Amino acid sequence: MAITLVNPSGLPEIGAYRQVSVATGSKLVFVAGQVAWDAAGATVGEGDLAAQVEQAYVNVGTALAAVGGTFDDVAKLTVYVVDWTPEKMPAFLEGVDRAATRLGTTPGAPGTLVGVAALDVPEHLVEVEATAVLDA
């Protein structure tokens, strides 16, 4: 495996992710921001943050699988959430948990969550982009 996830001593442990990832592979994969579109381009879970998070993570998983990767190969995630407030965290984590169940893995790479005013279309509540490292 090309990615090792670490929680260094002296930094807080965050349940949803690790603070550091160490990449030893040689093939970088950059996944464009994924939103809650199904394969036909229809929005999944309009108005439902958990459903949209689930679909966006599953879409990242689909993109990774297409190039021979999985969430175990993710070195860094960036998540953009429309009108973010801390009260949205339970719905966000529910979506991540549901995606993890569907994907058969637990996303744990370092991540950054950014609150934004809007995304590409009004019904999208979340966008997830990933950087992964694969063994060549």
Residue 5 has pLDDT above 90, yes or no: no
pLDDT for position 106 = 80
The CA distance from 136 to 131, in Å, is 15
| Choice among 1-15, 49-63, 82-96, 97-111 with the minimum mean pLDDT | 1-15
Each residue of 23-64: pLDDT tens digit? 898 899 999 999 999 999 999 999 999 999 999 999 999 999
The vertex-9 CA angle with 7 and 14, nearest 5°, equals 40
Q: Rounded to whole angstroms, how far apart are CA atoms 72 and 109?
A: 8
Beta carbons of 70 and 109 less than 8 angstroms apart: no
Does pTM surpass 0.85? yes
Cα 96 to Cα 99: distance, rounded to the nearest angstrom = 5
Please enumerate in sequence order all residues whose Cβ is within 8 A of that of 68, keeping only pairs 6 or more positions apart, or say none: 134
Amino acid at 59: N
- Mean model confidence pLDDT for the chain: 93
Q: What is the rounded CA–CA span in Å between residue 3 and residue 107?
A: 12
Domains located in the chain, CATH noted: 1-132 (3.30.1330.40)
Instruction: Tell me how far CA of residue 40 lies from CA of 37, 44, 53, in angstroms.
Output: 7, 11, 18
User: What confidence tens digit (pLDDT) does each residue in 71-90 have?
Assistant: 999 999 999 999 999 999 99
Is the pLDDT confidence value at 107 over 80? no
Do residues 71 and 61 make contact, with C-beta atoms less than 8 angstroms apart?
Answer: yes
pLDDT at res. 21: 86
CB atoms within 10 A of CB 116: 12
User: Can you give the pLDDT at residue 23?
Assistant: 86
Angle at 14 between CA 8 and CA 18, to 5 degrees: 50
pLDDT at 55: 98
